Amino acid sequence: MEEQFYPAEDLIYNKNDVLDGILFVVEGEVHITMRSSTTQLIVLDRLFKRCTFGYHQCLVDEEKGPPLVQHRLVAHTDAVILKLPIQALTDARKKSRNLTRVLHAMERI
């Protein structure tokens, strides 16, 4: 995993960016936002310590192409995030049939 620091108000992902890994919030607060048709900023969700982002998107079929971020992610406060690169997850799935089975079972929950 890669540790990354984002200062408050720093953009982590913009809408339609390629999602390159699963994010784990270690410290701080991250907002998932979108703009309305009147350019009003709407906070859809708040991620805090121990929250994750991108899990389901990173498990999609690789043949469909890389997953895209649907909304903006912005560090609301200084934030420390661990990122599990999608390639590391893909490599681990190829090596372990058990991991693949567990991940597919979790998708149904």
pLDDT in tens, 41-91: 899 999 999 999 988 777 766 667 788 999 999 999 999 999 999 888 878
d(CA 57, CA 86): 10
Q: Which residues, 6 or more positions from 18, have their beta carbon under 8 angstroms from its beta carbon?
A: 66, 67, 68, 69
- Least confident range of 14-18, 76-80, 82-86, 97-101: 97-101
* 48 token code pair: 């805090």
The pLDDT value recorded for residue 106 is 62
User: Rg of the chain's alpha carbons, rounded to an integer?
Assistant: 15
Tell me which CATH code domain 2-107 carries: 2.60.120.10
DSSP β-bridge partners for residue 25:
81
Boundaries of every domain in the chain: 2-107
